[in-house]
Each structure stands twice: as structure tokens, then as C-alpha cells.
Structure 1
Amino acid sequence: MNPRTPSASGRPRPVRSGRRLLVAALATALVASTAACADEGDAAVDDTVAAQEGQALEPAVEVDPGPAPTVELLDEGSGELRVMAYAPSRDAVTVAVTRSASARTTVPGAETRVDETPEQTLTVEGLSEPDVDGAQRATVTAREFTSVDELRSAQFATAPGFAVTWTRSADGIVRGLSLEAPATATDAARAGVEITANSVSDATVAWPTEAIGVGARWTVTRSVEDAVAPERAVTYELTALDGDVATVSMELAAPDAAATLDAPAPDGGPGVTLEVEAYEVTGSGELTVDLRAPLPVDGTTESSTRAVYVDPGSGRRTTYVEDSVLEFRTAG
């Protein structure tokens, strides 16, 4: 079972995206030595987009965005300096968010476990509105959710009308995330929208509170649910600024990896403590950020994880490889 799959009630669970899949995959490979199958969710229904958008939404489900990150300015840049701050939208914007990912866990003598997320695109329309204390409520509504995989695309057909709201401070730090699902949305649609919403939340650029100019560099460090490296550090550089539209490049790293990983046994038996032989998280990309839009309007980010674990009792080496791509494109 994919730990990101919603509960039996069908509603997205109020959890934060993290590295739970890694530990679950390792435990399955080490103890069960079998490949797992992802739960594809409910059968697709043949509702039209118009019908989906017109129906009532279920009560909002709150998702914990985790502790606020720390932001450290490294270089203020040059030229005209200004404090970067998100502001209310003048007009609604439509953005297509495309996500794909793959993960592979390999243990000697066991069948390799592969988890694939084929390229899938969530097209949303939304805007930012004022909230209390200078914060913004960035709300988007799903217009279309498709996948290159026909089965997933059919399941995602129930997503239109899904509403996602981020509450963020003027500097871009996300303080809250909520999801409102159409009553007939399938589990696959709910899970897909939730995972994409978490990815968009992570991609939201947090700005330093100091005034900056082109060439400015700063680091945003946030906590994540990773048993080996519990922090992610993103270093941004402001490469262009035209009015309210900024272009930033980014580099991702995971500092301070632990020397061991405790993998729970899925059968309830004793857990396994693995030695961390290698652990590397990298990422890069470029984003175009409209300070008056609810999410980035253009750009691509890529990230990868490469890990090697050793069971000190048997000497078996487990390798874990994960790659993901997130792309934003203005649509309409």
C-alpha cells in the first residue's frame, strides 16, 4: 500500500508529504522481499467537467505544512533593492502543473520494487486575496487533471472543482494548507491533487525580509519527514526582476545525513537498523514568480535521491533511487 493513499473514508488525510515511502519500501524489500503494487483507487466515473465543477464540495481538510522554515540572506544583490512580498491578484491566472516521479528499491536476492508516477498535469485557476496581518490566501480550483496513463487519466476525471488554499505570509512562508474535494472525487483524484498541492507548497519561493536586488542569494531551510536527513536546504538566486515578476534559480541539498536508518518491519516483527553508506539529495531548477499569482507561473524543478544502505547482520546492500520533476506553465 502506498502510504500516500487516502484513508477508506475517501478524504485526503491531514498529513504532510515526506519520506515515508522510502522507509516503507525498504522494510518491504528487506523483510518481505516482494514487490508492492500501488492501489489505483476507485473505478473512474464518466462525469463531465461542468458537472464536477457545479457540485458541492466536502468540508475542507486541513493539511499541516510543518514548521516554518528559516531564511538566511547570503548576498543582497545589486542595483535597485526592494523587499519582495506577495500581494493580492489583479486577475485570475490559469497554470498547468505537471508532475512525474519514479522510485526504485533494490535488495540482493529480492525482486526490485518500482513505484512510478507517470507524467500527470493538474490545470488550476486561481488568485491571491488579502488575509489577516498582511498574509495572503492563495486559492486555486482544479479545471482539469490528466495523465499520460489512460487509466489514471480516467480516474483523475473526477478532480475538476477541487479547491486548494494556501495561507502564506507576505514573504511566502506557507502557514496553512486546506483541500476541498468534490463529493464524487475518486481516491486516485484526491491523492493526486493532495500530492501535487504539497509539491506546489514546497515550490513556493520564500523571500528574505531584507531588501534585495538582482543577483541576491539566500537559503531557505525547512524540516521534512526524512529519517536520514530531516532538513532540506534550498539556495535561491534572483536572476531577473521586472515589476512584480521575478525569475529565480534554485539548488537543493540535504545536509547532515544520519549514519543509520531504522526501518520498521511491516509484519510487526523487530525492526532493522541499517548503516547509511551513502545518501545524497540534489535538485535544481528555475521558476518564474508573479508576486500577484497564487503559484509560480512558469519554470521547472528537478530533484533526485541516491541512497545506499547496508544491513550489518547480513552485509546486504539496499539501494534506493528516486527522481521527480515539477513543471509550471501558464495556460489559457
Structure 2
Amino acid sequence: MLLLVLAVGLTAFGTGCSDGAESRSESDSTEPLGIGKGVTVPIPAAITTVVSPGAEPRSLLRPDYPAGTVQQVTLHTSHRIEQQINDQPARDFSAPDLSIPMTAHTDADGIDLTLGTVTTPDPSLAKAFTKTGGSHAGFDLSDLGAITALRLEPAPDTSNPARAALEQAFYQAVYRSIAFPDQPVGEGAVWTVRQEVSGGVTLEQITTATLTKRDGDRLTIELDVTQQPKSTVWNLPNNAGKLDIKDYVMQGTGTITVDLGLPLPVSGTITVGGHQGYHDPRSSSVLQQTIDTQVSWTE
């Protein structure tokens, strides 16, 4: 049955990530992106639209840190997936939680991230992360602070499971980031960020941002995220067939604090979740997914 074969692979679409950032279990043989080498992945453009400019005084929000700026933060990710085919028992394909300490260095080319010791409650993955010392990642940014490219450079001894987990964590972070509006705004301002999320099916993600507080360069921003597929059909890779998308709901909220003088968020949590339903047109089989993802930043 097509759905039985694809049950694990479907989690890639559920995350809203690219094919190289999909969730994996022991039965999934998909290799991570750029196996054995570093990769640079372009990120679709983010389009901002101001809904309300907010109160006076207003100013342009722009990242403003000189080359050589250093910041230490930790990225925490959680990714829960439960899947059910027809009336069979639901199965858990969740990815282990990760905490990724990193030191950000800014230069003319963007943001370079040196990863520290990654921790996870999963014993086998924790062991794999003991060989990731010296791993790097990085972001290229637009003038509005939108991430335009993701760079991943795991250490040479990084295993496939560790590399795949890092990819998924950074994709989650990329698609939970925020771009600033292209006109002056003040406290109370509201703007939307529209972005395509690449994957088996292209998603349209709309993030509504509200500037709830500004204290100098430090901004507190509330976020509301929704995703919808831009097609009703998923044409599967490698001519494996297609699935009808019968149901798709992904939405969430969060609050982040950013400092215009620093390259990464200083704190905040964004949680996005929902459910999807897929139908195999060659049978009566239906697959349901329930998904919950969370991205947090701490200094």
C-alpha cells in the first residue's frame, strides 16, 4: 500500500521543511542534505506588508551590528508527530528534542555560527553528538533581516542521524524567524510576512507580527503563524505517485525578543501545530498526522 511505504516520509511535508530536513526514524533510509560536505540552501524570499504603522515615534527597523559582533545563544527545538493509517493504532514519529548552544560571529558575508555541545534526551543521538565538535552553520540576511540562505557545515565525523537532526532544527529556526517592514513603524505596529516554504508541496506561510514593546534597540514582537498548501495534490518524489491533500491545518503563536544590535533573537518561544489528512487516490487509505513544533531561544 502506498501510504504504508510513505508513512515516515510524509513527516517531511508536515514539518514545512525542505526534503533534506525531514523527520527520520530508524526505518527511514533518507540521507541528509550534502552528505559528507557543507551545503548552502537558498531560502524563499519573505515579503512584508505593513497593516498598521503603530504609534509615534516611528522609525525603520534594521539590523545594525558591525562586523565582528559576537553573541552566545542556545536554540531549543521540539518536533512531535503522531501518524495513523486508517483505523490502525497511531504511531509516534517524533524527533528528539535538541538544545544547540552556539556562538554567532558577524562578518561581511553574514552570520557564522560555531556550534557547542548539542544535548538531547535521546541516548543514541546524544552519543552521536559527541563527534560534532567544530560544526558550523550560518545565515545570509537581507536588508530587512530576512534569512535568504542557510549554510550547514557539520564536522567531518558527524554521523547521518546527528546531521539530519541538526538540519531539521535549523530549518525550524529559519521558518520561525521574522523579517522587518520596509517602512517606519512604532509600538503597536502590525505587519505580515508572506513566504513560500519549500517541500514536497509548496506551502504559503503568513506570519503576522505585532511590535508590542520597544526599549531602544530591543524589540518584543508577538507572532501569529499560519500555513496552507498551494496545491491540493502532492506529487511524490521519484515518480512514486501522488496523494490528495484532504485536510491541512497548521497555525501557532509566540513571542520573541530581538536586539537590532545583535544577529540572533535573545529570547522567545514560537509554537506551531495542527493536523493533516492525506488520501491515496488508488485506494481507500487515509493517513492522518498530528504535529506540534516548538522553537525557543535563550541567552
- TM-score calculated relative to the size of structure 1: 0.75
The reply to whether residue 118 of structure 1 matches residue 96 of structure 2 is yes
The reply to whether residue 37 of structure 1 matches residue 27 of structure 2 is yes
Q: CA deviation at 1:306?
A: 0.8
Pairwise CA RMSD: 3.2
Of 273, 289, 292, which residue of structure 2 is paired with 1:320?
A: 289
* Identity level (%): 21
Q: Match of 1:222?
A: 195
Q: Match of 2:106?
A: 128
Report SS of the residue matched to 1:195: helix
Q: Match of 2:18?
A: 18
Of 174, 187, 203, which residue of structure 1 is paired with 2:176?
A: 203
Q: Residue deviations 1:281-303, cap 9 Å, x none? A: 10111111112222211000111
Q: Residue deviations 1:175-208, cap 9 Å, x none? A: 2222222222222232222222222222332001
Of 260, 280, 292, which residue of structure 1 is paired with 2:249?
A: 280
Report SS of the residue matched to 2:86: coil
Q: Match of 2:147?
A: 174
Equivalent pair of 1:18/1:225 in contact (CA under 8 Å): yes
Instruction: Please give the alpha-carbon distance, in whole angstroms, between the structure 2 residues aligned to 1:81 and 1:152.
Output: 47
Report SS of the residue matched to 1:212: coil
Q: Match of 2:260?
A: 291
Q: Match of 1:183?
A: 156
- CA 1:254 to 1:203, structure 2 compared with 1: closer, same or farther past 3 Å? closer
Q: CA deviation at 1:315?
A: 3.7
Equivalences, count:
284
Q: 5+ residue gaps in structure 1?
A: 5-15, 26-34, 42-57, 132-136
The reply to whether residue 159 of structure 1 matches residue 132 of structure 2 is yes
- CA 1:184 to 1:313, structure 2 compared with 1: closer, same or farther past 3 Å? closer
Q: Residue deviations 1:145-168, cap 9 Å, x none? A: 010112211111222321112111
Q: Which has the larger radius of gyration?
A: 1
Alignment of 1:103-114 (within 5 A): 103-108=81-86, 110=88, 112-114=90-92
Instruction: Please give the alpha-carbon distance, in whole angstroms, between the structure 2 residues aligned to 1:308 and 1:95.
Output: 37
Q: Which moved more, 1:118-127 or 1:197-206?
A: 197-206
Q: Match of 1:304?
A: 273
Instruction: Please give the alpha-carbon distance, in whole angstroms, between the structure 1 residues aligned to 2:50 and 2:218.
Output: 20
Report SS of the residue matched to 1:188: helix
Which amino acid in structure 2 is aligned with residue 102 of structure 1?
R
The reply to whether residue 62 of structure 1 matches residue 39 of structure 2 is yes
Instruction: Please give the alpha-carbon distance, in whole angstroms, between the structure 2 residues aligned to 1:60 and 1:308.
Output: 36
- TM-score calculated relative to the size of structure 2: 0.82
Instruction: Please give the alpha-carbon distance, in whole angstroms, between the structure 2 residues aligned to 1:329 and 1:120.
Output: 13
The reply to whether residue 92 of structure 1 matches residue 70 of structure 2 is yes
Instruction: Please give the alpha-carbon distance, in whole angstroms, between the structure 2 residues aligned to 1:72 and 1:156.
Output: 41
The reply to whether residue 83 of structure 1 matches residue 60 of structure 2 is yes
Equivalent pair of 2:77/2:98 in contact (CA under 8 Å): yes
Report SS of the residue matched to 2:94: strand
- CA 1:146 to 1:248, structure 2 compared with 1: closer, same or farther past 3 Å? same
Instruction: Please give the alpha-carbon distance, in whole angstroms, between the structure 2 residues aligned to 1:36 and 1:111.
Output: 19
Which amino acid in structure 1 is aligned with residue 268 of structure 2?
G
- CA 1:190 to 1:159, structure 2 compared with 1: closer, same or farther past 3 Å? same
- CA 1:157 to 1:294, structure 2 compared with 1: closer, same or farther past 3 Å? farther
